[in-house]
Amino acid sequence: MIIASIVTDITGIFVFLFIFWKHLREDYSPEIIFKAVFDILAGIFIGFLVSLKFMPHAFFWAVILGGLVGLGVSIFRLKLKFYEVFEALIISSLPWLSFIFLLDSVTHSSLNSFIAFIATLIFVFISYFLDAHYKNFVWYKSGRIGFSGVATLGLFFITRSLLAIFRINVISFVSLGVEAILSGVAALICLVLLFNLTNAKK
């Protein structure tokens, strides 16, 4: 189990690195991209370690918080554009998360985790579909980068909130009641970010 978890995380990290780099390679040098990756991964692992000691059932949210802190540090330290890097973080994190769900579905024979694995892959497809077509949306006036990532993340959290409301548990949930609220708030934040993107000037 431990070996399988290590292999899963290592694979997830390499996929994360590749997608993150590929998404930003036209705008930033490899050195800047990998410095940003270091900050984000450091935040993720610190969040995970803190959750193991103090709140193991909240590891998903601790990891998110740690990753966002790392993202904030990288943006401030390297003078990066928020929406571009935030979108790269979202799109590159989804495959890693899908591997975690797949591992749990296999090791614990969990149907819910397998469904979560399939759903996460669907969100990966949605993110790439939106990334390829968002500039053609007439109502998306600004045309700025970031739409596909934020929209996908919003749909992701709406789905999590609905699953919790309908009492369908997943390994990354804190508890059904708390999860419905946290994911609902996160979805609302994504909606605000989308509103800002839609109305921002190019």
- Give the three-class secondary structure for 106: helix
Give the Cα separation of 68 and 63 in Å (integer): 9
pLDDT of residue 94: 96
- pTM of this prediction? 0.93
In whole angstroms, what is the distance from residue 42 CA to residue 101 CA? 22
Q: Output the CA torsion 193→199→201→202 (10° steps).
A: 70
Beta carbons of 19 and 40 less than 8 angstroms apart: no
Read off φ and ψ for residue 83, nearest 5 degrees.
-65, -35
CA distance 169 to 78: 39
Write out the two tokens for 189: 């934040």
Query: Which residues are within 8 A (CB) of 168 and not within 5 positions of it... i.e. 6 or more apart?
Result: 112
pLDDT tens column, 56-76: 889 999 999 999 999 999 999
Average pLDDT, the chain: 92
Give the end-to-end CA distance of the chain in Å, rounded to a whole number. Answer: 49
Q: Is the pLDDT of residue 202 over 60?
A: no
pLDDT tens-place string over residues 103-114: 999 999 999 999
